[in-house]
Structure 1
Amino acid sequence: MTQKQDQQTITVNGLEVAYRFDGPEDAHVVLMANSLMSNYSMWDWNVPALADRYRVLRYDKRGHGGSQTTSGPYSISQLADDAVALLDALKIDKVHFIGLSMGGMIGQQMGARYPERIYSLSLCDTASEMPPRNLWEERFEIARKDGIPGLVDGTIKRWFTAPFIERAPQDIDKVRQMILGTGVEGYIGCASAVRDMAQTTMLLKIKTPTLILTGRQDPACTVEQATVLNRMIDGSKMVLIEEAAHLSNIEQPAVFNQVIREFIDSVDNTL
């Protein structure tokens, strides 16, 4: 039986964190971590492909969705510590980790610093460094002046290819509302962590089975940046999804789900 529960909150690291479980209670846990300017509903396209076999745990990082916003700036290491504290609070020893964009940056920290907590790492549409600094400063200025609505159209154009924006207005509207639900303070706090991130050498510490998955047309975290992850993480596997930009999990969910599921199953079957 698959059990579904609505959003719950728990205090970790002095922070109210929103989370949700789907799937059988006695199964291995898959932890899913979101992108910047999103909440855990970004995984609605993917959870059904996992929840028959796995206990899927989704959560909102600090400053996003239903989780508390604390004063920033944040760091990726702090956000990874939040994720581990959530697992501790829920008494979960080990997970298959799936992170997209900023979630994948958190995953890099988890794999390098908390390897004993990770069965497998799926790092999707992500990077180990995100220059240039002035690009982030420009976005912060827009957010302070116009709020998140000033960033929403540009974000959607980076997240999806033009043909998908044209053919999937309902999906785009759902994503638009998700972006608009992000507060300016939480956005700047988390985006500052991305701006200041320098994790490339840390990748050498990752020994966990790792999948690098990215959309071929991703302009935010490019194929070149994914290739860096693939080269630096020993034994990692890299897969490109055709006709997908940054949120490849929403633009090409069937392919994304198949690749992720086959990878996680292949690791889980050896445990």
Structure 2
Amino acid sequence: MTQMQDYKTVNVKGVDIAYRFDGPKDAPVLLVANSLMANGSMWDGNVPALAERYRVLRYDKRGHGGSGLSAGPYTIAQLADDALGLLDVLGIQKAHFMGLSIGGMIGQQLGARFPERILSLTLCNTASEMPPRSLWEERFEIARTQGIVGLVDGTIKRWFTAPFIESAPQEIEKVRQMILGTNVDGYMACGSAVRDMAQSTMLLKIKIPTLVLSGRDDPACTVDQGIVLHRLIDNSKMVILEKAAHLSNIEQPEAFNKSVRHFIDSVDDAC
């Protein structure tokens, strides 16, 4: 697992944001955004395949991983401003972007609001709206009364198919520890951003090359929700990964890496 000592921090909009680079220093940058209750280690099985050609920039959003915490609730727009602010502080003018779940929601904002800064969008296992509100209130109540530990088992069952949970205990344990390392207040502040999100009309503004990637068995951000993104984003491409739930990058890393590389390479070759 990627260790926190491998990360550096910079102050972005009043919060220390943890980040790390992998890949050639002179290569095009690929900014990568994590899911809720995750840190940059969720990409350990993907970075080697991407860092062959790209300067992969992983970061932890505010309230998660090695990054600082500010008072919540947050908004997706605020989290997108953090991502752009990180690029600004690091002196990066343009970058490819890949995000999963809330990371993909952040990407939607970046593609719609800052198209001059984003070379391509890869939106993985994500959605433009996440009803019902009551679902989030139930999870927040569990977090308040039981802590993150009360959410772990349900989260893992949403994130992975039953066969993978049974056949990959080491991967599941790594993910379990990642979830348990999440700050309760950070989870609730970022979860509120997902709860309050309504971005479907914003998708019509996205004109940059976009890949929508969904897991066939994802109960959290379904294929149907991915299809909404695909239909509303002009000239987007869509890939559905079989035998994959929410964290498709971990459950089907080979197929995931191949699909993402093929797409980003095609954009980069055209630049």
**What TM-score range do you get, normalising by the shorter chain?**
over 0.9
Partner of 1:79: 79
Q: Over the residues paired in the alignment, what is the CA RMSD in angstroms?
A: 0.7
Note the C-alpha offset of 1:60. 0.1
AA in 1 matched with 2:141 = E
Partner of 2:44: 44
Partner of 2:224: 224
AA in 1 matched with 2:190 = C
**CA distance in 1: counterparts of 2:52 and 2:257, whole angstroms:** 13
Note the C-alpha offset of 1:72. 0.2
**CA distance in 1: counterparts of 2:182 and 2:194, whole angstroms:** 16
Runs of 4+ in 1 over 2 A off after TM superposition: none
- Give the match's secondary structure for 1:259: helix
**CA distance in 2: counterparts of 1:270 and 1:238, whole angstroms:** 19
**CA distance in 2: counterparts of 1:35 and 1:246, whole angstroms:** 10
Render the CA deviation track for 1:104-149: whole Å, top value 9, x for unaligned: 0000000000001111000000000000000000000000000000
**CA distance in 2: counterparts of 1:121 and 1:165, whole angstroms:** 29
Note the C-alpha offset of 1:52. 1.1
Mapping of residues 139-218 of structure 1, within 5 Å: 139-218=139-218
Partner of 2:120: 120
- Give the match's secondary structure for 2:240: strand
Render the CA deviation track for 1:142-193: whole Å, top value 9, x for unaligned: 0000000000000000000000000000000000000000011000000000
**CA distance in 2: counterparts of 1:52 and 1:136, whole angstroms:** 39
Partner of 1:258: 258
- Give the number of aligned pairs: 267
- Give the match's secondary structure for 1:121: strand
Partner of 1:65: 65
Structure 1 stretches lacking a partner, 5+ long:
none
Partner of 2:21: 21
**CA distance in 1: counterparts of 2:249 and 2:52, whole angstroms:** 18
**CA distance in 2: counterparts of 1:147 and 1:12, whole angstroms:** 28
Note the C-alpha offset of 1:6. 1.8
Mapping of residues 93-108 of structure 1, within 5 Å: 93-108=93-108
Percent of aligned positions with the same letter in both sequences? 74
TM-score, normalized by length of structure 1? Answer: 0.98
- Give the match's secondary structure for 1:165: helix
**CA distance in 1: counterparts of 2:127 and 2:35, whole angstroms:** 12
**CA distance in 2: counterparts of 1:206 and 1:146, whole angstroms:** 40
Partner of 1:241: 241
Structure 2 stretches lacking a partner, 5+ long:
none
**CA distance in 1: counterparts of 2:70 and 2:163, whole angstroms:** 38
